[in-house]
Each structure stands twice: as structure tokens, then as C-alpha cells.
Amino acid sequence: MQNIADDIIKELLLKGNYVTADDVKAAEAAKEKTHVGVLDWFLAEGLVTKDLVGQAMAESFKAPYADLNSSQPTAEQIAKIPEEVATKYRVVWFTESKKGVTVATDNPVQEQLEAELKKIFGTSKVTVAYALPEDIESTLIHYRQKLSTRFTEIIKTSKRVAPELIDAIIDDAVAFRCSDIHFEPQGADVEVRFRIDGVLHEAGRIPKENYDNVLNRVKVQAHLRIDDHFSAQDGAIRYTNKQNQVLDFRVSILPTLSGEKIVMRVLSQYVQGFALTDVGLSAPDQELFFKAAKKPFGMILVTGPTGSGKTTTLYALLKTLNRPEVNITTIEDPVEYHIPGINQIQINTQTNLTFAKGLRSIARQDPDIILVGEIRDSETAEIAVNAALTGHLLLSTFHANDAATAVPRLLDMGIEPFLLASTLEVVIAQRLVRKICENCRHAIIVSPSELEKSVPGAAHYFPKKSLTLYAGKGCANCGGTGFKGRTAIFEFIVMTPEMQELLLHHPSTNQIWDLASSQGAKSMFEDGVEKVKNGLSTLEELARVAAPPDAKHRS
């Protein structure tokens, strides 16, 4: 949860008897061990809820609590407070009655706020309530014009079109939690699209005559050649916005028939506060993960396609392992998240610093834990296995459709079966599913026949005659999609003695999964079903990224 210091929240929750002194001690011990914030630990353990925290903070300000999630104001109501006042004081319209108007802010004691509200509402009585910072952020999004409108204004009025266009696009990308920004030349226009929660949405269009300046500015900032229009180029940008947030972008430029396409991946900012409790791991899976990570040596692999959250999961684990007495070194392409206390190395093909060569050098740097961004070839795989065999805990990602497929692929790379059996501790596969928007979530009653019609094979996991599931209606808070945010679904294969014995005989994917499932392993779909039953996501969204095991092709 954003912007609430641990010391403040401990004092407030203790004072209000929301938690006990023993709870605080346990949270502080967890913070030392796992680097998870005290408030995040309270939330993960179910000791408090977000609303309860909001109420405690409101009490400290001697103000009422405004739950903006359960009572979301309309765009017309929000517009009653001018944008410049709303953004300056982080204040939004909340409710209105015969008694007067209630507004909400995450800082009710700001100087001049009362005077500004009197200018707006005149003689009406105004009550200032407290709302959680993230709820204020979600509501302030309503003030944003559509990008296409802002493009038109910038092009008409600005003398510095390219810088202002880029600033506007990045500002909106950050506000809408965008992971990738696409600039796609199409005839007379260039379409700008945002990937939000894994799905692309059109954000606006730039006239082709203005795009060349935008393209050149991006190339200059990313240290790429502006005179090369026919080669693929990759670079990086560090950008500071008006709120003094430092943002990192990975830039890819590719020539297409219609012109040069830009994709900017937003790095680092969404994972600053991430812990294993945030990524979607169930309690049993967290236990498996921690058990493997506590061993002094061995290999932990996370598999999945690009953009499935593999690096985020490993970094959440690294944060729990990051202690003063431990030497952690990573080698990545690129370094996506900067974590203090960890030695991070960036791949550089121009200086011939590859994964394999960097990994050899790291092994001579006395590391305890090594993270290899990705095992891409047999040379890197061989060095990684040897590093895990010689007293290092090695974490890495690997491209495979599921956990069981990873093992035969590693064997096909030439890794000796007995070496793999001796070093591999756990293989994890994961995908990301969109979460239902909390603001517009509603219950629906579904029968098994309707489930089967919607997702063939799913009724097996919902044996009741009828059941309650959830969906999002679509609201301003989620951009009308019914979804906001993402969580991961997982599949774990643990190297038991029986699995190690099987590995010695070059097993197929089916043989590995049959043994793993007989030992209690759950597929990604089965993990997702639990999240659907708990109201986190929908069955259709789950089926979009994972198939039921009987429909899944394992070769």
C-alpha cells in the first residue's frame, strides 16, 4: 500500500487495538527476514483490511473515512472540483447531501485546502474526509483528457511538439499502469497503443508529419542512430517526470513497411514494493518456494513466455534473500529492477559480455546467490548447472510452455541427466491473469452446463449444481474493461527422490507430469480455478491464458 510509513501504521493500529503487540513483533521479524513492509505483512496475514487501515488513518487525522472504491463518484461529480485544485491538493469530490458536500484527500491537514474549497463551494458546508492514496490516484485519472484530444492541442499550440507529445504519452502510460507503449505507423497516422494488464488498448493517433520528430527524439534519448532507418535497434531511456519519479524504459525500434515502429517497455516502477505475498503464490506454494530457496546450493527455474512475470517472481524472492551476510549477483539483459545491496550486471554484446562469459566471471566473485536473467543456450545452461553444483544457489528463467517441458529441453541442450538431477530443486511455470476490478465486481450464478459451454472441460472443477462466480461490470475505475491489475497462476514441479530417479532415464514431458501430479502437483489451470472461486478473476480470463490439463497438449 502506497505512501504510509511502517512506524505510523504500527502506532495507529496498536492504539486502535486493531493489532496486538505480538502481531507487531511478528511483522517486524518478517520484515527483517523477507523485506516485506509491516503493513503489507498485516494485509497478507488477514489481520487488517485496506478499509480498516483507511479508517485508522482517518481517525489519526480526526476526519471521517471515504471509501472511494465502494462509492465511486461519477465523472460529472468529480468535475465539480477544478483539475488544478484536485491535482495540487490531491482532493476529489465524494458525496453530497442536504447537510453539505464531502470531499476526500489523503492529506486532510494541508494549508490553504479549506480556503480553496470555500472558493469552489461557497456557503455550502464542506467536510474533508480521508481516503487511501491509491484510491485518490484512481479517481484523479478521471481528469485526464483522451490522448487523441491532447495530441491535437499540443500540435496546434506547442512550439516543441515532440517533447510535449512524449511527455503526455508517458504521463498517461504511468497513470494507467501501462507495461508497454507501442507507436505503430499506419498510412497517414501513427497509432499509439498501451498494453494494460496484458491487453493492448488504443490511446490515440499522431499525424505522420509529426512522428519523425518523435521518433528522432526517442532515438536520441535511447542513444540510437538517427540516420539508420532500416535496421532493428535496441536501447534504454531513463526519464524523470514532473513528479520527480525516475522511470526506466527499454526501447526497441523495428523497420516496417509503413515506417519505423517503436515499442517502449516500462521497467522497474511497478515492482518497487513487490513481495512474494503480492505475486499470487498460494500459502503451500510459498512454502515450497522458500524451502528450495533456503538451501545453500541448487537451481530454481521459472518458466513461461515473455511477459508472464517470471523476472518479477524471482526478484520478489531475491528481496527476501537479500541480507548483509549474503553476496547476491545478477546478470541480466536488461537489468529491469534496481535493488540496493545486490550486484547487478548488464549484458553488453558490444563488449562481448554475454550470459555465458558473465556467468563464468561471477563464479569467481565469491557469490552465494546468482540470478541469470535467462538460460538461452547450451553453454549458459552448462555453466549454470556447474555453478549450482559447486555451492551456489542459482535462479534463472527459461522459455518453456509449462514446468514439465523445461526438463526435456534442458536435457536436449546437452546437460547430463545425473548433473541435472543433482542440481535442480524446483521448476515453476507461470502466466498472468487479469484481476476483476474491485470497484465494479458483482456476483453471478452459473450452472455446470453453462460453465462447460463457456470453457470445455471446466465443469469438472466445479462439481456443484450451481455456484457463485464473479465478474466486473466495467466502470471508470477500470476503463470499462471490468479488470484492474493482474495476478499470477503457478505450476510447481519439485525434485523429489522419485523425480530425480526418473530424470536419469531421459523422460518425456508426459512422464514427468504424470509423476509430478501423482505427487500432488497442481497445473496452472487448477491454481487459477482457486483464484476464480475466490473472486480474483473470471473463468474466461483463466481460459485465455491456460487450458484445463486434459485439454493441454504435453509432448
Backbone CA torsion sign across 551, 553, 554, 555 = positive
pLDDT band at 368 (very low <50, low <70, confident <90, very high): very high
How far apart CA 286 and CA 313 sit, in angstroms, is 11
Question: From edge to edge, which strands make up the β-sheet containing 343-346?
Answer: 343-346, 328-332, 369-372, 393-398, 298-303, 424-436, 483-494
pLDDT of amino acid 33: 64
* Averaged pLDDT, 332-359: 84
pLDDT higher than 60, residue 554: no
What region, left, alpha or beta, does residue 198 occupy, with left being phi > 0 and alpha being psi -120 to 50 degrees? left
pLDDT higher than 70, residue 503: yes
pLDDT tens digit sequence for 287-314: 889 889 989 999 999 999 988 989 889 9
> Which helix (DSSP H) or strand (DSSP E) does residue 541 occupy?
helix 539-545
- Cell triple for 521: 502437483
The values of phi and psi at residue 77, to 5°, are: -70, -40
Cross-strand pairs, 240 = 246
Q: Residue 369: name the closest of 305, 435, 315 by CA.
A: 315
How far apart CA 326 and CA 342 sit, in angstroms, is 9
How far apart CA 367 and CA 102 sit, in angstroms, is 56
Q: Residue 263: name the closest of 168, 165, 191, 162 by CA.
A: 191
How far apart CA 376 and CA 359 sit, in angstroms, is 13
pLDDT tens digit sequence for 402-423: 999 999 999 999 999 999 999 9
- Residue 22: count of CB within 10 angstroms of its CB: 8
How far apart CA 409 and CA 419 sit, in angstroms, is 14
Q: Residue 108: name the closest of 126, 127, 87, 130 by CA.
A: 130
pLDDT of amino acid 155: 87
pLDDT band at 268 (very low <50, low <70, confident <90, very high): low
pLDDT of amino acid 3: 54
Angle at 268 between CA 331 and CA 366, to 5 degrees: 25
* Chain mean pLDDT for the chain: 87
Quote the percentage of the chain above a pLDDT of 90: 43
pLDDT higher than 60, residue 513: yes
> Which helix (DSSP H) or strand (DSSP E) does residue 332 occupy?
strand 328-332
pLDDT band at 274 (very low <50, low <70, confident <90, very high): low
How far apart CA 171 and CA 166 sit, in angstroms, is 8
Q: Which of 50-64, 76-90, 265-279, 524-538 has the least mean pLDDT?
A: 265-279
pLDDT tens digit sequence for 82-126: 988 998 999 999 998 888 999 999 999 998 998 999 899 987 899
Q: For residue 456, is the peptide bond before it cis, meaning its omega torsion is within 30 degrees of 0?
A: no
* Averaged pLDDT, 176-203: 91
* Averaged pLDDT, 190-206: 90
pLDDT tens digit sequence for 120-158: 998 789 999 999 888 888 788 888 777 878 888 888 888
* Averaged pLDDT, 345-362: 86
Helices (H) and strands (E) in the chain, counts: 22, 18
Helix, strand and coil in the chain, % to nearest 5: 40, 25, 35
H/E/C letters for each residue in 214-230?
HHHHHHHHCCCCCCCCC
How far apart CA 487 and CA 60 sit, in angstroms, is 32
Task: Let me know if 367 is exposed, middle or buried by CB neighbors in 10 A (0-12, 13-18, 19+).
Answer: buried
pLDDT higher than 70, residue 35: no
pLDDT of amino acid 270: 46
* Averaged pLDDT, 336-360: 84
Cβ neighbours for 76, distance < 8 A, ≥ 6 positions apart: none
pLDDT higher than 60, residue 540: yes
pLDDT of amino acid 36: 62
pLDDT of amino acid 231: 93
The one-letter amino acid code at 216 reads: N
> Which helix (DSSP H) or strand (DSSP E) does residue 102 occupy?
strand 100-105
**Are residues 30 and 53 in contact, defined by beta-carbon separation less than 8 angstroms?**
no
Sorted by where each starts, the structural domains of the chain and their CATH numbers stand as: 6-132 (no CATH), 144-267 (3.30.450.90), 283-433+487-533 (3.40.50.300)
Cβ neighbours for 114, distance < 8 A, ≥ 6 positions apart: 126, 128
- Cell triple for 473: 461490470
pLDDT of amino acid 457: 82
How far apart CA 122 and CA 117 sit, in angstroms, is 8
pLDDT of amino acid 275: 63
Is the pTM of the predicted complex or chain greater than 0.75?
Answer: no
pLDDT higher than 70, residue 71: yes
User: Beta strands of 143-273 (E only): which ranges?
Assistant: 178-186, 189-196, 199-207, 233-240, 246-256, 259-267
Task: Let me know if 159 is exposed, middle or buried by CB neighbors in 10 A (0-12, 13-18, 19+).
Answer: exposed
Gyration radius of the chain over CA positions: 26
How far apart CA 204 and CA 31 sit, in angstroms, is 43
- Cell triple for 391: 555451492
pLDDT of amino acid 277: 66
pLDDT of amino acid 271: 45
pLDDT higher than 60, residue 384: yes
Q: Residue 325: name the closest of 48, 8, 32, 23 by CA.
A: 32
Q: Which of 66-80, 222-236, 305-319 has the least mean pLDDT?
A: 66-80
- Residue 349: count of CB within 10 angstroms of its CB: 9
pLDDT of amino acid 34: 56
pLDDT tens digit sequence for 437-481: 887 888 888 888 888 888 888 888 887 777 888 999 888 778 788
3-class secondary structure, 370: strand
Cβ neighbours for 40, distance < 8 A, ≥ 6 positions apart: 1, 273, 275, 277, 278
pLDDT of amino acid 70: 73
**Are residues 268 and 239 in contact, defined by beta-carbon separation less than 8 angstroms?**
no
